[in-house]
Amino acid sequence: MNRDNFIKTNYNEPFIIQRADPYVYKHKDGTYLFTGSVPEYDRIVLRQSSTLDGLKDADEVTIWKKHEQGIMSMHIWAPEIHYIEGKWFIYYAAGDKDDIWAIRPYVLECSGKDPLKDPWKELGQMQASDDFSFRDFSLDMTVFENRGIWYCVWAEKVSVGKKISNLYIAEMESPVRLSTPQVLLSSPDYDWERVDFWVNEGPALLRHAGMLYLTYSASATGACYCMGMLSIPDDEELLNPRVWKKERIPVLRTDWKKGILGPGHNSFTKSEDGAADIMIYHARQYDEITGDPLYDPNRHVYRMKIMWDEEGCPVFSFENNF
């Protein structure tokens, strides 16, 4: 299947077109904010709506553009917006025109009330507390609070031998600085995490009934892209990797009949009444791509209602797309 000849189904009608790595944040006042990677990888955009549905057609505002040269001048990827201690922060990855794969995590801050209209300032690269974090290809940073402590999780490639993208976790001293050395959470251990590239990336946190579920994406960005999951009780030591449980099979992967290919790089939000957990993710409608799938613009945004099984674990099913 290619871009001119793919199966249209009841499941693969996009929520938002041509936005990869989608992130939706529901603010305390009930409004929704949306951001994601644009196909040009050259800017950071935001949408805002009083309803989740409204994000589809909401006006999109460019709040930051890439530099012309040097750091933050190439591959502007996977922005996430967070509200921490009365300020807005956007975490994103970026490269350098002179070294396009020198991807590192960066931070923007907005101290105003309206993140679409008020100014943003650059805070530079995320600061490590050790001598080895962010030394190589590092991206897909997410942050969350648990029991009064803020944590940061990101993907980073090890630079010895074969390039492998792992997931790491650390505690945070501030929105721009880590307070502990990195701890390895997950490596691409299984065959489904090693298609074309050995990858764990795109972490996203889901909370439910005293548990933390950390989904992530695996393998290359084409139809082989899929989702894995880690989990841990929320009262355990999050920096102890032995306590985390890793699922042996993907929790979501390509469904050829439904026409949803390479699902992944998701985020989680709540329904308007707060009763349901909603997953926002990207996927493709076809697999025949000329060149690197990374530069094909047609990764679209989809929505899925999360269901829960008898043991309280999340159930990811395209049947619950809406």
139 lies in the same domain as 38: no
* Cβ-based neighbour number of residue 49 at 10 Å: 17
Boundary residue ending a domain (81, 101, 125): 125
190 lies in the same domain as 299: yes
Average pLDDT over residues 304-319: 97
The answer on pLDDT for 160 being more than 70 is: no
The number of folded domains in the chain is: 2
Q: Does 313 map to a domain?
A: yes
239 lies in the same domain as 283: yes
Catalytic: which of 140, 201, 277, 296?
Answer: 201
116 lies in the same domain as 251: no
Q: Does 9 map to a domain?
A: no
205 lies in the same domain as 281: yes
What is the pTM for the complete model shown? 0.97
Q: Give yes or no for a contact between 129 and 181, defined as CB atoms under 8 angstroms apart.
A: yes
Average pLDDT over residues 4-28: 96
pLDDT digits (tens, 9 = 90+) for 254-291: 999 999 999 999 999 999 999 999 999 999 999 999 89
pLDDT digits (tens, 9 = 90+) for 38-80: 999 999 999 999 999 999 999 999 999 999 999 999 999 999 9
Q: Give yes or no for a contact between 162 and 76, defined as CB atoms under 8 angstroms apart.
A: no
58 lies in the same domain as 145: no
- Residue 287 is part of a domain; what is its CATH number? 2.115.10.20
User: Shortest CA distance to 296 belongs to which of 8, 40, 16?
Assistant: 40
Q: Domain range for residue 263?
A: 128-322
Mean pLDDT of the chain: 97
Q: How far apart are CA 169 and CA 212, in angstroms?
A: 14
Cα angle, residue 43 at apex, residues 272 and 37 outer, rounded to 5°: 50
User: Could you tell me where the DSSP H helices lie in the chain?
Assistant: none
Could you tell me whether strands 60-65 and 71-84 are parallel, antiparallel, or unpaired per DSSP bridges? unpaired
* Active site (annotated) includes residue 60: no
Cα 263 versus chain centre, distance? 12
> Quick one: what percent of the chain has pLDDT higher than 70?
100
Give CA separation, 73 vs 22, 35, 78, 194, 225, in Å.
Answer: 21, 19, 15, 29, 27
* Active site (annotated) includes residue 21: yes
End-to-end Cα distance, the chain:
23
Residue found by looking up tokens 């001119």 in the block: 4
Q: Does 16 map to a domain?
A: no
187 lies in the same domain as 307: yes
